[in-house]
Structure 1
């Protein structure tokens, strides 16, 4: 199989001869072997692992994204960020912890931004409401 792991800024992995791929989505971990049916799934912040032709396992921490399997021989992972490494323990503890913290910070920023937008809309609506007891706008 051919495995590609890409980010907006780089191609982290582009290998032929991959024997299997392991990944994790919302439902849990799963594996892909050559000949797998076509599908696409959203990935969690996790580690994607693959067995190379020589039998050794390699790993890549990803910051969420998507995985697609096509034609039983191509697997493509797209992610906002990807860190390739041989040390699974380091990827699991250090890199994934950073990815999770960054994702939490982004969720908080998004919630704060939404609150500010709603407050601005409420303020605009107060100025557009008709004045009480009058038929027109204030």
Structure 2
């Protein structure tokens, strides 16, 4: 099988000799072998690992992403960020913790922006109603 992993800036991995692949989505871990039915799923922050036809192992930490299987012979992963590595445990300890921290910071930023947006809309509605006497922030 062919495996192609890309992030917005580069082709991270492109292998023609993949025998099997292991990945993780919201439902849990799953495996892909040659002849797998077509599949489209959203990956979690996780380590994707694979075995080459000669028995070598490969792995890559992904910061979420979309995995597709086509024709049972092509696996493509498009992700925001990917880091190749030799040891899945090291990737899991070092890279995944950083990916998860960055994802949490982004979530916190989105929540803060949504709160500011909501407050601005409330102030506009109050001003349009003529109820603009309130000056405090909720």
The two structures share one fold, judged by TM-score above 0.5: yes
Normalization by structure 1: what TM-score? 0.92
1:16, distance to aligned residue in structure 2 (A): 0.2
Pairing 1:25–2:63 present: no
| TM-score, normalised relative to structure 2 | 0.92
- Return the offset for 1:118: 0.5
Question: Whole-Å Cα distance in 1 between the matches of residues 129 and 9 of structure 2?
Answer: 48
Q: Where does the alignment leave 5 or more consecutive residues of structure 1 unmatched?
A: 132-138
Displacement of 1:53 after TM fit? Answer: 1.8
Structure 1 distance, partners of 2:18, 2:65, is: 20
How many residues are paired up?
131
Alpha-carbon distance in structure 1 between the residues aligned to 2:83 and 2:71 = 26
Structure 2 stretches lacking a partner, 5+ long? 132-138
| Contact 2:36 2:72 (C-alpha < 8 Å) held by counterparts | yes
Which stretch shifts more, 122-131 or 64-73? 122-131
Query: 4+ residue stretches of structure 1 with deviation over 2 A?
Result: none
Query: 2-side partners of 1:53 and 1:19: how far apart?
Result: 5
- Which residue of structure 2 aligns with residue 62 of structure 1? 62
Do structure 1's residue 120 and structure 2's residue 120 form an aligned pair?
yes
Deviation at 1:54, TM superposition (A): 1.2
